[in-house]
Structure 1
Amino acid sequence: MKITETSLPGVLLLEPKTFRDNRGVFWETYNERAFEEAGLPTKWVQDNYSISSMDVLRGIHYQITQPQGKLVRVASGAVVDVAVDLRRSSANFGKYVAVELSEMDGNMLWIPPGFGHAFLCLTETAGFAYKVTDYYSPSGERTVQWNDPEIDISWPISSDKAIISAKDQQGCLLKDAEVYP
């Protein structure tokens, strides 16, 4: 597995070693020893899976209590995946990194606690799988608006075309958000 730090320190792109032949392709999505050697978490408390339709945009989500580290990957389709630094004391506060993840490359993104997470479905449907380091905490869940002008994410979609849940439409602006110290 090749691990590359993104422009946001701590957010890592993980590229699995793939084995291709005339039958298809194989790769490991998780290997405890490899993760341990790379200094990545090896204790996961929950696996989640969602299916989204094209133009569905989810996020920017995070938990202020029970912050979660997330290991995200796409099992089918493709997405633009975004991590936003929400640690007020960070020199990168409010900055983001965006990467395309797809079923074809098997790449994963490690998003440590202290970051918000969002993604946009680029294909007819996308199956999105992720492991988390802490349990879901409804009372600690927070949302920053996906199109917050201060963060200024360069989404490959116009606001009138993006499909946003009612809950995500109620997200607050970064300047008003409860964030990490």
Structure 2
Amino acid sequence: MLRLDAEHTLRPVESGDGPALARAYLANRAHLAPWEPTRDEAFFTDAWQEEDAQRCVADAAAGRSIRFLILSADDEIRGRINLNNIVRGAFWSADLGYWIDASRLRRGLGTRAVSQVAAYAQGELKLHRLQAATLLHNIGSQRVLLENGFERIGSAPKYLRIAGEWQDHILFQRLLEEPLSSRSERP
């Protein structure tokens, strides 16, 4: 378990997290709807979330992904941050995704969580690169990435089906071996 601040910790998803995940997704349903794929009613149930938690555990054991929960002091889920599509071989890369509870926005929680997970990706997983994508108008998420040393590397038209529509995204990457200062000095 990693400490993010006095009120929040970060830990991998575990079997048994389904009910807490269902509560978190239900509480944030309207908040997340513009940023995520369209969800059916089953997604918000304890059973669906528990099956997904068990898939997360299996995927982590197989080295395919690792998904983390952001927990508050009262052990409630206040966000999630994922390293998906972990690829080795010549790539040594993963896709980063995250969300923060609507009640915890603009407190730096996302920035701290991304920092911790990037350090984990570099130190524990020995990855070379992280990639992330944001909707064009998701300025808050873009700030989180930029504050964590990610660079904008391009755009992808109709990249992901979000809120029921294929939407354009801005692509970011962070090369984990490079010090943050070397990236900030580039033109």
What TM bracket, shorter-length normalisation? 0.3 to 0.5
Could you tell me the TM-score, scaled by structure 1's length? 0.33
The structure showing larger relative contact order (alpha-carbon pairs under 8 Å, at least 6 residues apart) is 1
Could you tell me the TM-score, scaled by structure 2's length? 0.32
Which structure has the highest helix share of the two? 2
